[in-house]
Structure 1
Amino acid sequence: MRFARLAGFSGIGFVLLLLGGNLVLLSAGFPNPSDAVGFDEIATVHAGESNALRLTSALLPTAWLLATIFAAGVFAALWRHDRARSEGWAVVGLAGILMQCVAFAGVGATRLAVAATATHDPGAVAGLGTVAGLWGLHNALFGFNQIFLAAALLGLSVSGRRAGLVERWHAGVGLAGAALLFLAATASPYGADGVNPLALFGLVGWLLWLLWIVAYSVRLLRETDEFVPSATTPGAT
């Protein structure tokens, strides 16, 4: 299997794992970032549904591996084009995807730490205080992680469009998602102890990010062994 096809399947697999993991957490009663919940409720759900959290957390390493393969496939396809190499937008996009894997590792780790604290002594005042601190850290990491998604969308959309690898609508989806995620990340300090005032922007941006990955993955699955941009596409030679 050519690496471009492997990267395409990896991107689709990454999206499916994200959607499946989030559906498991939501069906188990875990709050999403746009929910206003008390720390006692957070402790209760993390203590009572720790098995669901462990299951979704166990899928994260696979998701990060798939995301890395996808990013490498997109980068390799773009790097064959002279303009992509000279402008560096592809590097920005690759760095964004790799950094979001690192940042979301922190998000997953704090969720497990909340569950461990809540399971140990969910009713104690000291335990709730620790849960509150960990949940604030979780929200801050989750919010700031969106800037790395924005960087990935921006870099790989601009580079892909100029190299002729993506269509205008696809690049538009990426840039719109990048703008929404950037705004949500900027507002994240105001939601560290509660709900991000621009949480809806982040949700829409995240959905656009998933759509963008699927579209890019399909494009990779159609890649030829030797990508040559059309003479009618931007950046063609």
Structure 2
Amino acid sequence: MSFSRLAGIAGMGFVVILIVANLLLTTAGFPTPSEIASPDEITTVIATGAGSLRLASALLPMAWLLATIFAVGVCVCLRRDERTRTDPWSLVGLAGVLMQSVVFTSVEATRLALTSAAQHDSGVAGLWGLYTALFGFNQVFLATALLGLSMFGIRTGAIARWHAGTGLLAATLLFATATTSPYGVGSVNPLALLGLAGWLLWLIWIVAYSIILIRRPPEPAVTPGRPDTAAASTST
């Protein structure tokens, strides 16, 4: 299997895992960013849905691995010419994907710490504030990934204008929500619904990119020690 196809499948898998994890959280009653939740409510949700919360967190290490494979596949497999230098925008996008994985690791670690705090009835309010802040600020790295890989795709002709437009719109919504995330600590971010819209567009954007990677024909193999077709035709 070519790396391009593998990266496309990884992108699809990443989206599936995110959807399943969020369904588990919703089923457990975990508050969304657009809902106000008191420490008592958080404690109750964790006490009744601890199993679903842990399962959702257990799925995410695979999601981060798949996201990395997907992002590297976009940067490497969709370059216009293997002999040209790396497009700076692809590095911006790759950095965004890696940083969102790092920051969201902290988000999940904080959510698991909330489970322990709720069981011992201590520190729930502080940990919930930290969780909310990390979750909000993480959206800037999603925006960075969308911006970088959308610009890379349109510059190389790898994606259509609507695809790039979807990515840039999602980046704008997520960046705006991340900017106002301090107002969501202890309350509700006034742009929380815009962040949700940006997140949904981000999933659509990944699926579209994954389809491009899967459909990309594999690079022709060159036998070591033998000139390829282009070189042979030049020499004759």
Per the normalisation by structure 1, the TM-score is 0.89
1:159 aligned onto 2:138: no
Report the Cα offset of residue 120 of structure 1. Answer: 2.3
The alignment of Structure 1 onto Structure 2 pairs a total of residues equal to: 220
In structure 1, give the amino acid aligned to 2:108: G
1:189 aligned onto 2:182: yes
Aligned residue number for residue 26 of structure 1: 26
Contact 1:79/1:90 (<8 A) preserved: no
Per the normalisation by structure 2, the TM-score is 0.89
In structure 2, give the amino acid aligned to 1:65: L
Aligned residue number for residue 46 of structure 1: 46
Distance in 1 of aligned mates of 2:135 and 2:30: 15
Contact 1:140/1:192 (<8 A) preserved: yes
Query: Structure 1 pair 174/84, CA: closer, same or farther in 2 (3 Å)?
Result: farther
Aligned residue number for residue 112 of structure 1: 112
In structure 2, give the amino acid aligned to 1:164: G
Distance in 2 of aligned mates of 1:210 and 1:13: 11
Alignment of 1:100-179 (within 5 A): 100-121=100-121, 127=122, 130-179=123-172
Moved more, 85-94 or 133-142: 85-94
Distance in 2 of aligned mates of 1:85 and 1:40: 55
In structure 2, give the amino acid aligned to 1:174: G
Alignment of 1:69-88 (within 5 A): 69-81=69-81, 85=85, 87-88=87-88
Listed one character per residue, the Cα deviations across residues 140-165 of structure 1 (whole Å, up to 9, x for unaligned) are 11011000000000000011011011
Larger Rg computed on CA atoms: 2
Distance in 1 of aligned mates of 2:194 and 2:77: 30
Report the Cα offset of residue 65 of structure 1. Answer: 0.6
SS state of the match for residue 154, structure 2?
A: helix
Moved more, 159-168 or 81-90: 81-90
SS state of the match for residue 158, structure 2?
A: coil
Distance in 2 of aligned mates of 1:19 and 1:118: 26
Aligned residue number for residue 98 of structure 1: 98
Distance in 2 of aligned mates of 1:198 and 1:175: 17
Distance in 2 of aligned mates of 1:83 and 1:187: 42
Any unmatched runs of 5+ in structure 2? 221-236
Distance in 2 of aligned mates of 1:87 and 1:210: 24
Measured on the aligned residues, the alpha-carbon RMSD in Å equals 1.6
Report the Cα offset of residue 106 of structure 1. Answer: 0.6
Distance in 2 of aligned mates of 1:86 and 1:3: 18
Contact 1:78/1:90 (<8 A) preserved: no
Structure 1 residue runs of 4+, over 6 Å off? none
Report the Cα offset of residue 225 of structure 1. Answer: 2.5
Any unmatched runs of 5+ in structure 1? 122-126, 228-237
Aligned residue number for residue 65 of structure 2: 65
Contact 1:15/1:214 (<8 A) preserved: yes
Distance in 1 of aligned mates of 2:4 and 2:83: 20
Report the Cα offset of residue 38 of structure 1. Answer: 1.1
Percent sequence identity over matched residues? 61
Aligned residue number for residue 199 of structure 1: 192
Distance in 1 of aligned mates of 2:8 and 2:170: 20
Distance in 2 of aligned mates of 1:215 and 1:192: 34
